[in-house]
Chain A
């Protein structure tokens, strides 16, 4: 398959989630849904013609009809103009690329998901996949932190899952913000603080983490304190994957390539790698 040329896709919906974040739904060719057949944790290269291309994690559930959900923060060179995209606009997609979360390794185990900020996007994809095969895992716990209540993504969905009893949810924000109707039981604390009150069985728990790089060291030491081994901790790393096919040389982590060998790595794989977790 030629992964060098973006396939045409059309924006079918764009829904603002926060001031600077949107959920964009794309339609690709339903007869050829290559880019829509992915594993949670893999990424896509999205092109805005005339502006550029950027890597972005899949955020939804793999579809058979070619539709793709992406959660995009409009802060970059390409993502800023994308904020004013409208249904019907043409874009380009290449992917999926990289390795996702090791779903088969989670079989029969409890899973602890930890998301910080926009890191909720790929973990939502993982969560949706796990809920689809409900028998696969035991307990599903999600710790999710954002800067303020207004920045918590997919809150309605997550609270609904919690209500249905399919996930255990703990929310936190760095500061209360101005949103008066914050979610119930949302703490004001840093994300790693949520691990203090955690009750997990380290012998049967895996962790999947995605968040801003600054929180990784604390999260990792917290998980180790809980007794999790490094091969059961998986993290998604953010790098500047420009080509997606292991050639441009921008996304190396140690001597591994984020685009080809990641972006999801086990902590064991990253042991001692300079710059892997900041």
Chain B
């Protein structure tokens, strides 16, 4: 069977999502049988965009002009463009600035470095191109990543998840950290699919997978406020991974 031509690119991000793929060590031989990674600057050289791709997996958010160019180029050349990880899907941590003025912060950190002056407010991919599918998570679950790739070989895109972290947390019969322990757990508002990884270890959900569809923020804020977490605290925490959370 003909191998699928794949491009894997990283924009503004920590490369952890690309690493999540490289960490699928047991499956790598099988992946190389099915996929030809023609463009994967983090793992292979040379890194030249050439021809067309069956799929492009893009990690990171957009914050620089050359990233926008690369993304548009990948979109043009690819049948499917897939947002890989929370930064690509929601914007992610690059947009964190604690409400401070962007210009002021830039001056503080980079002074008058001209490269830094080209940056713009970080954007998730879907603000600039059509995204065919998304694998969220910081980093994405290995299983989800492999299922995405297996689906691509069959021409299928993943089915979206519509339940929050709480659903899986309850399925695992965990103690509820929010209602029973008054801990600041964001499971109620966060997209599931991680198997409630953190709450199962007694660690509150940090919201790394971004908002669940139809998140009921108004009611959730009431509940958090009863537990002593004000709306600013909640929104700041939510915006850590998804800067576009709005009231």
A residues with a Cβ closer than 8 A to B are: 48, 50-52, 77-78, 80-81, 84
Does the CB pair B156–A77 fall under 8 Å? yes
Interface string of B144-158 (1 = CB under 8 A from A): 000000110011110
Beyond A50-B154, A52-B156, A80-B157, 15 additional pairs, beta carbon < 8 A: A48-B154, A50-B150, A50-B156, A51-B151, A51-B156, A52-B159, A77-B157, A77-B159, A78-B156, A80-B155, A80-B156, A81-B154, A81-B155, A81-B156, A84-B155
What's the dominant secondary structure at chain B's contact region?
A: loop
Task: Report the Cα distance A79→B159, complex, angstroms.
Answer: 13
Interface centre among B151, B156, B157, B159 (most CB of A within 10 A): B156
6 A-B residue pairs with Cβ-Cβ distance under 8 Å, sorted by A, are A48-B154, A51-B151, A51-B154, A51-B156, A80-B156, A81-B156
Among the interface residues A48, A77, A84, which one has the most CB atoms of the partner chain B within 10 A?
A77
Contacts of A48 in B (CB 8 A): 154
CB distance from B122 to the nearest CB of A (A): 31
Q: Chain A's nearest CB lies how many Å from the CB of B167?
A: 16
Q: How far is the CB of B151 from chain A (nearest CB, A)?
A: 7
Q: Tell me the B136-186 residues at the A interface (CB within 8 Å).
A: 150-151, 154-157, 159
Residue of A nearest to B153 (CB): A50
Residue of A nearest to B160 (CB): A77
In the assembled complex, the Cα of A84 lies from the Cα of B154 at a distance in Å of 10
Q: How far is the CB of A70 from chain B (nearest CB, A)?
A: 18
- Docked Cα-Cα span, A134 to B151, in Å, equals 47
Which residues of chain B from 60 to 111 have a CB within 8 Å of any chain A CB?
none
Separation of A84 and B151 alpha carbons in the complex (Å): 14
Shortest distance between the CB of A194 and any CB in chain B (Å)? 38
A55, chain B: closest CB distance, angstroms:
16
